[in-house]
C-alpha cells in the first residue's frame, strides 16, 4: 500500500459540484492499493500517517506529528499510484488492486482512521474527483508499506 503524503494548509475534494471531503491544516494522502495489500498494510500505513513527523516545532524542525498538531487527515484513493511506468510511454495498471478489493481496503483504512483520529475526511472511491490543496512547504513523502 502506498500513501503519497502532502502537508497542506487546507485541502478539499469535489465530486462534480459537491465537496465530499475537506480539511484545514493537516495532511492530504493519496492512497494506492495493490493486490498483495492487506488490512495489516492499512494498519501500518495509518500508524505512520498519524505519527510521521512532518510539522515544524518551535525551532523550525520537522519534529511534530499529525496527532501532535491536531491536524486534519484527508484520504483520497488513487489507483494510478500503483502504475508500472518502467517501460514504454503508457502506464500499465496491472499492479493496482481489483476495484472490489481496493474499495474494501480503502473503506477499512478510512474506518480505522476515524476511530484513531478526530479530524478525518475522504474522497469517494472510484469517482472522478477534483482535488484542491494549498501545499505547505511543499512537503511531500511517498510512504510504502
Please report the pLDDT score of residue 35 as a whole number: 97
Q: Which is catalytic among the residues 6, 78, 125, 145? A: 78
Please report the pLDDT score of residue 5 as a whole number: 99
Regarding pTM above 0.85, the answer is yes
* C-alpha dist (Å) from residue 28 to 71, 99, 109, 124, 135: 10, 22, 14, 14, 9
Q: Please say if the pLDDT value at position 87 is more than 90.
A: no
pLDDT, tens digit, 9 for 90 and up, residues 4-26: 999 999 999 999 999 999 999 99
Q: Which is catalytic among the residues 79, 106, 125, 145? A: 79
80 is catalytic: yes
Q: Which is catalytic among the residues 70, 80, 85, 130? A: 80
79 is catalytic: yes
- Residue of 110 and 87 predicted with greater confidence: 110
Cα torsion 136, 46, 31, 17 to 10°: value is -70
With bands split at pLDDT 50, 70 and 90, how would you rate the model's confidence at 67? very high
Percent of the chain with pLDDT over 90: 96
The predicted model gives 35-62 an average pLDDT of: 98
Domains for the chain: give ranges and CATH numbers: 2-131 (3.50.80.10)
d(CA 116, CA 91): 35
17 is catalytic: no
Amino acid at each position: 500500500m502506498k500513501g503519497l503524503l502532502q502537508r497542506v494548509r487546507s485541502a478539499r475534494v469535489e465530486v462534480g459540484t459537491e465537496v465530499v471531503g475537506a480539511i484545514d491544516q493537516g495532511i492530504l494522502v493519496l492512497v494506492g492499493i495493490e493486490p498483495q495489500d492487506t488490512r495489516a498494510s492499512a494498519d501500518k500505513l495509518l500508524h505512520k500517517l498519524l505519527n510521521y513527523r512532518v510539522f515544524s516545532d518551535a525551532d523550525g524542525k520537522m519534529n511534530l506529528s499529525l496527532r501532535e498538531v491536531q491536524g486534519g487527515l484527508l484520504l483520497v484513493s488513487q489507483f494510478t499510484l500503483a502504475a508500472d511506468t518502467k517501460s514504454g510511454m503508457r502506464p500499465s495498471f496491472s499492479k493496482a488492486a481489483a476495484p472490489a478489493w481496493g474499495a474494501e481496503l480503502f473503506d477499512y483504512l478510512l474506518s480505522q482512521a476515524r476511530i484513531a483520529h478526530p479530524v478525518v475526511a475522504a474522497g469517494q472511491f472510484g469517482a472522478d474527483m477534483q482535488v484542491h490543496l494549498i501545499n505547505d512547504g511543499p512537503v511531500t513523502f511517498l510512504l510504502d508499506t
